[in-house]
Structure 1
Amino acid sequence: MYIPQRYREEDRAIILTFLRENSFAIFITHDGERPIATHAPTEVTENEDGTLTVYTHLSRANPQWKTLDNQEVLMIFTGPHTYISPRWYNHANVPTWNYTNIHVYGRPEVMADDEFRALLSRLIQTHEPTNPEYRLETLPPELVEKQMRGAVGIKMEVTRMDAGFKLSQNRDDEDYQNIIAALEKRPDEMSHEVGKAMKEKRAV
């Protein structure tokens, strides 16, 4: 992904937090004739050696999982983004768009049943933190087995990442503060999230 240097995010902790907070990613492969994409939930873990692993799963009825053999694939994690009006600058200019996203690359493989079962268990714990009674282990075994047969667990060791956080870093402090103030006045949550990201990027 093309990212001007001023918009490239290099902080490992920020990247890892972003991946976990924006975990519904686009999983893109190629079947030899055309690209194929699926929106899929993910789990990202940091290994002892500092590498990252992305876990996801697809429906077994989705033919995309059969395209994984020996190819590098792309997963796109998208965060808050919004339109930036030139009316917020202290000089004449043109509109732009602020955004946050990370492209993650790697070579995926199908998970063994025990790994997949462990992933499903972790996902339930992550997304049902206030409902400890609901766990994979408490569900009827025959239901779990049936659901697992209908899906394919996938893991991908990350080989490279491109993190682009375009948050008006090219603007002076006056413009920067004006943009944040204008975003905070908007009614939509996405604009507020971009404003929050800008505050975290630069203290003004």
Structure 2
Amino acid sequence: MFIPKYYKVTDFGEIRNFVQENSFGTIVTTKQGKPIATHLPLGLNKIGDDYYITGHMAYGNPQWKTFETCEDVLVMFQGPHAYISSSWYEHENVPTWNYQAVHIYGAASILNEEELKQELTTMLLKYEKHRDNSVLWEKLSPQVLEKELKGIVGFKIKVKEIQAAYKLSQNRNDKDYLNIVEELRKEEDINSQQMAKVMEKRIRSEE
């Protein structure tokens, strides 16, 4: 991913939080030279001394069979994004687009049954623990679990390289920056409003 110096993010803690908060990612591999992709909820977890992207996909999805033949798997995570009009600047310029994106490269392998059960337990806990009638692993019947396990393939991707870009108008002066935030707030598009919140948070973190 091309990342100008203004927008490069290297703090692993910040990147890890971003992935956890924007965990619906895209896995890209190749099959006979053709890129293929799957969109999935994913986790970023430490196992031993290494970090892994973990998840599962349908057994009928042929992409998992490419894990053995691909030296590197690309996993992409994206946050809010928004159109930035150059009419919001003090001086004449061209429009642009703000966004947050993380690319992670690594080697993929298939989880054994016990690892898959742990992955599913962790994922259910993350998304269900705050709900009144939480659907947790230990609450599901053996029949349902057995059927589920037969229909999916678990995987882990050992993190080898991380590229992260937050394009949040960092190259603009303070007046332009604050005006961009105000204009984004006025937009009806939910992504624009979310981008305004991200940019506001960045200001507060630097104060």
Please give the TM-score of this superposition, normalised by the length of structure 2: 0.93
CA RMSD of aligned residues (A): 1.5
Match in the other structure for 1:21 = 21
1:192 Cα offset (Å): 1.7
Once the two structures are superposed, residues 31-72 of structure 1 have per-residue CA deviations (whole angstroms, 9 ceiling, x without a partner) of 1231110001101113563x4211011110011110001520
Report what 1:62 is aligned to: 61
**Corresponding residue number in structure 1 for 2:201:** 200
Matches within 5 A, 1:1-40: 1-40=1-40
Matched, 1:75 2:68: no
After the TM superposition, which segments of 4 or more aligned residues of structure 1 sit over 3 Å from their partners? 46-49
SS of 2:42's equivalent in the other structure is: strand
Structure 2: unaligned runs, 5 residues or longer:
none
Residues 23 and 42 in structure 2, CA contact (< 8 A), matched pair in contact too: yes
In structure 2, C-alpha distance between the alignment counterparts of 1:98 and 1:82, rounded to whole Å: 5
- Flag the 1:115–1:47 CA change in 2: closer, same or farther, 3 A: closer
Alignment of 1:170-189 (within 5 A): 170-189=171-190
Work out the number of aligned pairs and report it.
203
Over 3 Å counting, the alpha-carbon distance change for 1:61 and 1:94 in structure 2 is same
Q: Which secondary structure does the structure 2 equivalent of 1:122 belong to?
A: helix
CA contact (8 A) 2:76 2:101 kept: yes
Aligned residue runs from structure 1 range 110-125, under 5 A: 110-125=110-125
| Higher mean C-alpha deviation, range 38-47 or range 128-137 | 128-137
Q: Does the 8 A contact of 2:105 with 2:161 survive in 1? A: yes
Conservation of the 8 A alpha-carbon contact between 2:128 and 2:134: no
Aligned pairs for 1:35-54 within 5 A: 35-47=35-47, 49=49, 51-54=50-53
